[in-house]
Structure 1
Amino acid sequence: MQHTVSTKTLVKASVSATVVAAIALVTFILPAEYNIDPTGVGQKLGLTSIAQAAEADGAVAVTGAQASNTEFQTIEVVVPAGRGVEYKFAMPQYAKMTYEWMTDGDALYFDLHGEPEGDTTGYFESYTIATSNEMKGSFTAPFAGSHGWYWKNKTDKPIAVQLQVKGQYEVIGLKQ
């Protein structure tokens, strides 16, 4: 007896495999390999300690003359009503940043992302896209370049963001 597989079945299987791979990447691989834990599950499972141990053992070297900020630096960013702003940091490959931000009320759409150094194509890689009034975590820059947040205010009043960061970076600042 011969079975034929329909295109619909193949598409469903492909989509399912892609979803499972994306979940595995965000939940297990990024926390264990790069100490990037957008969901917090990697820390709860102890996976971020693997990447931290590798950094402590010198397996991941931070290159470049970036500042190593060991104390949290507090930055206030105001996102105007109905507009978006971007706040960026220059980081070498494998540099680590710990961050926490919160708004003074309403939630903002945001995209934590990076742009490779010297790229002129407009390419960027998103690490986390969501809508929230707060977020905390850490990430390791997968490539040298500018990394940071785009916040979009969909309300009719300005929203202030208090951003606290520490790690290996140089402030680029606000890009509107």
Structure 2
Amino acid sequence: MQPTVSNKSLLKATIIALVISAIALVTIILPSEYNIDPTGIGEKLGLTVLSQSQTEENSETMTEQSSDTNAQSKVIEVTVPAGRGIEYKFDMEKYSKLKYEWMTDGQSLYFDLHGEPEGDTTGYFESYVIATNAEMKGSFTAPFAGSHGWYWKNNSDQDVAIQLIVEGEFEVIGLKQ
């Protein structure tokens, strides 16, 4: 003989399942997926961190797709004379971003990617990358308003051509004498 389930017990089980799923929705799913945490439990359990990383990724994607009036792209050709160094700079606001790629005609150059704070008269600068290479690709966010760019030094006895490709929020200063 099989036990039969009454309508009353079926209704009771359905209500309990609905209450448990509502609690899971409010305390786990909303905080971790959508950063909505009405009870504060999601933050205490560390679940809101998951949604924040998704939100950051989504906002980065949306930023890349949006038409920002300050964002621009440029391809710049510069030549570093034999035995000399040059600086090429961009004026950038604090927290503005720059994606870059540069390559030489094959010759490695010493370089220093750095920034100088706006209005500073002490000669202070902050280096982001110092190396010797024939090419480099990357991005950075300006930690302060001011001029940011490269110093390239050519230790060879022949001129070296550089192609610099930049995309981001900047104003070209150009060669700095």
Question: The TM-score by the shorter chain falls in which range?
Answer: 0.5 to 0.7
Tell me, yes or no, if structure 1 residue 88 matches structure 2 residue 81: no
Letter in structure 1 aligned against 2:151: Y
Task: Give 1:105 deviation, angstroms.
Answer: 1.6
Task: Give 1:56 deviation, angstroms.
Answer: 6.1
Gap runs ≥5 in structure 1: 1-49, 59-65
For residue 68 of structure 1, the aligned residue among 56, 67, 70 is 70
Task: Give 1:175 deviation, angstroms.
Answer: 1.1
CA distance in 1, matches of 2:54, 2:81: 37
Identify the residue that residue 100 of structure 1 maps to in structure 2. 101
Higher helix proportion, which one? 2
Could you report, residue by residue, the CA deviation over 1:97-152 in whole angstroms, capped at 9, with x for unpaired residues?
Answer: 00000001210000000000000000000000000000000000000000000000
Identify the residue that residue 139 of structure 2 maps to in structure 1. 138
CA distance in 2, matches of 1:52, 1:161: 38
Sort the Cα spacing of 1:157 and 1:53 in 2 relative to 1 into closer, same or farther, 3 A. Answer: farther
Could you report, residue by residue, the CA deviation over 1:31-60 in whole angstroms, capped at 9, with x for unpaired residues?
Answer: xxxxxxxxxxxxxxxxxxx999648649xx
CA distance in 2, matches of 1:158, 1:114: 25
Give the share of equivalent positions with the same residue, in percent.
68
Task: Give 1:160 deviation, angstroms.
Answer: 0.5
CA distance in 1, matches of 2:53, 2:157: 42
CA distance in 1, matches of 2:119, 2:85: 24
Letter in structure 2 aligned against 1:156: D
Task: Give 1:67 deviation, angstroms.
Answer: 6.0
CA distance in 2, matches of 1:113, 1:52: 31
Letter in structure 2 aligned against 1:149: W
Q: Which has the larger radius of gyration?
A: 2
Sort the Cα spacing of 1:52 and 1:164 in 2 relative to 1 into closer, same or farther, 3 A. Answer: farther
Kindly tell me the number of residue pairs found equivalent between the two proteins.
Answer: 119
CA distance in 1, matches of 2:88, 2:54: 26
Could you report, residue by residue, the CA deviation over 1:61-81 in whole angstroms, capped at 9, with x for unpaired residues?
Answer: xxxxx96234x3100010000
Tell me, yes or no, if structure 1 residue 154 matches structure 2 residue 155: yes
| Contact 1:67/1:170, CA 8 A, preserved across alignment | no
TM-score by length of 1: 0.62
Sort the Cα spacing of 1:91 and 1:106 in 2 relative to 1 into closer, same or farther, 3 A. Answer: same
Gap runs ≥5 in structure 2: 1-51, 61-67
RMSD of equivalent CA atoms: 2.4
TM-score by length of 2: 0.62
| Contact 1:89/1:172, CA 8 A, preserved across alignment | yes
Identify the residue that residue 61 of structure 1 maps to in structure 2. none
